[in-house]
Structure 1
């Protein structure tokens, strides 16, 4: 009697487990596409902030390539290319600053083909609220201080926070966060200037499977 009861209870638990698993799978499949669309719309909004819609006539999201440069952070990185009448205008790169105060900071850095910064936005971070989170455009306009800036071919001492002798403000009580962002943006600009011609020649490939290869190293 006891064995039969245990067997029956086991079957009931197994049935509940199977039903729960099936429900999770169905829910994931039903929500995957809406979530992906929402993420795409959010990314497009940020892209339109760093590269104005009137500055290009192509679909930035569809004109995307993956690149692999350790200077930009963990690979692969997405590069969204802007063109006007088929001519290169700018590109927005996903960049990671690994040395934030509370961990990695994910950025979107857009650069015009003349090497000047079109715009920078923070995509993700874990910096201290009220201090390091001023890298968010909705909290502070500090991130716009990169607009129009250029990086010299040689070592450029201007690309540092003022405490380190550079031209960028640091935050009161928080220097590590802006320092990390400044360094990451400078690296991104240098990589873009070195490789932009090749990037604009490549076919879009962000919808293809991610290859497993060793990251490329950009020249210093």
Structure 2
């Protein structure tokens, strides 16, 4: 092997090493900022579905993962956050999924108080038709606020449907599938809260613990 070839190989290796070290150093320096930004975003989301006085570091640390495919929309683990005052549970924020949106799954955050009343619902992610189904987003319309203070009387509570199906929730002109899917997902979350409340509170699977 000629010396120029060896020299070029060494230079390339040194360059690759320097680039790797730079990437590692950059990640180490920015990681705390990224985590802090994620925490602020999560905190802001939780403040929209639970009373702000319960949204603190204790709530963020309360994150658990639960899996109830029928009630939460799929077989994935879904996160919950348990709001407490002292040792008393005041409410739970549930991640849930409406699997039957018009353009795929709709991920939701549902805040339920200890008395079974909804404090708030927000969309985490959706792929619905712009100008139609995306009205479930608060930035597009106030429709999502229609869940505030609602309760589920029983699993057979017929009010929990869009008006086209005889229920109490508005549908969108030209887009009934999307609100119908969201209403059903929120209803099933309330069913889960009613049926499995103590079991959920006792859940020991912390967020990020995949052992």
Pick the TM interval, shorter chain.
0.7 to 0.9
What corresponds to 1:101 in structure 2?
102
For residues 12-64 of structure 1, the C-alpha deviation after alignment (integer angstroms, 9 at most, x for no partner) is 44444444344333333332221121111111112112111246888311222
Unpaired segments ≥5 residues, structure 1: 212-220
Partner of 1:20: 19
RMSD: 2.6
Structure 1, residues 70-116: CA drift from partner, whole Å, max 9, x if none?
13134321111112242121110111112222222111101122222
**Structure 2 equivalent of residue 161 of structure 1:** 162
Which deviates the most, 8-17 or 104-113?
8-17
Structure 2 length-normalised TM:
0.85
Mapped contact 2:64–2:205 kept (Cα < 8 A): yes
TM-score using structure 1 length: 0.82
* Structure 1 match to 2:151: 150
Distance in 2, Cα, partners of 1:55 & 1:40? 15
Does structure 1 residue 49 correspond to structure 2 residue 76? Answer: no
- Higher alpha-carbon deviation: 10-19 or 143-152: 10-19
Pair 1:131-2:136 in alignment: no
- Whether 1:87 aligns to 2:88 is yes
Aligned residues: 209
Alignment-derived partner of residue 209 in structure 1: 209
Q: CA deviation at 1:188?
A: 0.8
* 1:176 Cα deviation from its structure 2 partner: 1.8
